[in-house]
Structure 1
């Protein structure tokens, strides 16, 4: 991603289910910095929309840098390793530019990803093989979809021209990462998180199977037949 954002893997997207404790070696990158709690209110010079966007982008960048390094070590396929290298490089660049912008504006940025992103990181730490690749790609898709929404909102309703310009440069990177993640997922047969896979997905649940409908119809027919018999008996008695 050439400066991307997501993940809501929120997620969260991507999409992006996950509280597996990490080992001591990985504890530091995912620990929440107390300063993060106040990072949403930089200085009075910036509007809330602008500071919120900068906070969200910083969290996305930090998450992508951490899981990108993890994917380079653990990914089972070349497609995922390639995507990880792309997003890692782009988010490192995006974070560097964001830190320069924050310094100019006197804004405070968070020093770690948000809780949901950390949860995805812990899940990836405990995953391996095909499960790692699936989880990573689903998180990339969900996360970049969310990042694109946040970035478009800043472009449309931000107040600071410099922050909006950053968003305008950032959006193509986010969309590129999203497109590449979707392409990798398609190549590996990975369905986006929440999609119906034919084995209990929400679409299937919303439409009962034909066999189930047949049982319902049969039950109604039996009840109707019993009602007719009772009615005839009552008529004879009268």
Structure 2
């Protein structure tokens, strides 16, 4: 009895050590996998002022006017979607975009008033043409396609313009408006795409890049390889290393247990 009991004790001790060691080895691998899918950050509201200070460039004025123009046709287009579409999803998209443009329009008007920028009160010629196209749609299905495609294309055009103003403007009110507009446009693009009927092939293509490895940040091939490695070290797979270590540990424990049993 004493011999059997003494044999079980080292076995239980070894099993405990094995379990602890495996948990320790596998924990970093689990943490690494969790870090592969971080949460998408939301821009903070801090650091953005709205005092109207800083030079107002012609591009800033043009941007404020374009934000106003966007609301002048997207609000009635959204209301039309609620009235003409037979698809509940399209009606919901139109309602949401129209309501959000009412909010953005108020923000834009406040900035224009602060900076002395005259705003239009009617859509431009292209926008009026898009609205007429929607009004004259032959069927609810045709309306849905026109509505989604025209708005998605328009948002795609204003999106890079917003990024340029946000990155370059010297005026704090325009900078804040650009950041706010960016969030609205991203939301609207995603809403439109949730319809499932966006004709991506018909969207304007991006201009060709100026040249390989050209841009504000130099690109190094070794950096790209390192960035693509899950372990952060080129050519090294952290998961494989942990697996090899775990197998070696198990083999060592099994050998040790056999020695205890023979004794």
Give me the TM-score of the superposition, normalised by structure 1.
0.59
Q: Which of 135, 142, 152 is equivalent to 2:146? A: 135
Which residue of 1 is the match for residue 165 of structure 2? 154
Distance (whole Å) between structure 2 residues aligned to residue 125 and residue 153 of structure 1: 34
Whose Rg is larger?
A: 2
Counterparts of 2:125 and 2:168, CA distance in 1: 26
- The runs of 5 or more residues in structure 2 that have no matched partner are 1-54, 204-263
1:63 aligns with 2:73: yes
Please tell me whether the aligned partners of residues 148 and 174 of structure 1 are also in contact (alpha carbons under 8 angstroms): yes
Partners of 2:123 and 2:172 in 1: how far apart? 25
Work out whether residues 49 and 159 of structure 1, in 8 Å CA contact, stay in contact via their aligned partners in 2: no
Give the CA deviation at 1:119: 0.7
**Root-mean-square deviation (CA), in Å?**
1.5
Higher relative contact order (CA 8 A, sep 6+): 1
Q: 1:110 aligns with which of 120, 124, 134?
A: 120
Give 1:215's aligned residue. Answer: none
Could you tell me how far apart the structure 1 residues matched to 2:95 and 2:135 are? 17
User: After TM superposition, what 4+ stretches of structure 1 lie above 4 angstroms from structure 2?
Assistant: none
Check if 1:191 corresponds to 2:202.
no
Once the 2 structures are TM-superposed, how far is the Cα of residue 87 of structure 1 from its aligned partner?
A: 0.5
Q: Is the 8 A contact 2:192 2:198 kept in 1?
A: no
Post-superposition offset of 1:191: 2.1
The answer as to whether partners of 1:61 and 1:92 remain within 8 angstroms in 2 is yes
Match of 2:60 in 1: 50
> C-alpha deviations, 1:98-149, integer Å up to 9, x for none?
1111111111011112211111000001013100000001012111111211
Structure 1: give runs of 5+ residues left out of the alignment: 1-44, 196-238
Decide whether the 8 Å contact of 2:155 with 2:189 is kept in 1: yes
Distance 1:76 1:52 in 2: 37
Q: How far apart, CA to CA, are the structure 2 residues paired with 1:150 and 1:113? A: 19
- What is the Cα deviation at residue 159 of structure 1? 2.4
Compared CA separation, residues 143 and 156, structure 1 to 2 (3 A): same
The number of residue pairs the alignment matches comes to 148
Distance in 1, Cα, partners of 2:114 & 2:199: 42
For the 8 Å contact 1:58–1:98, the answer to whether it is kept is: yes
Aligned to 2:178: 167
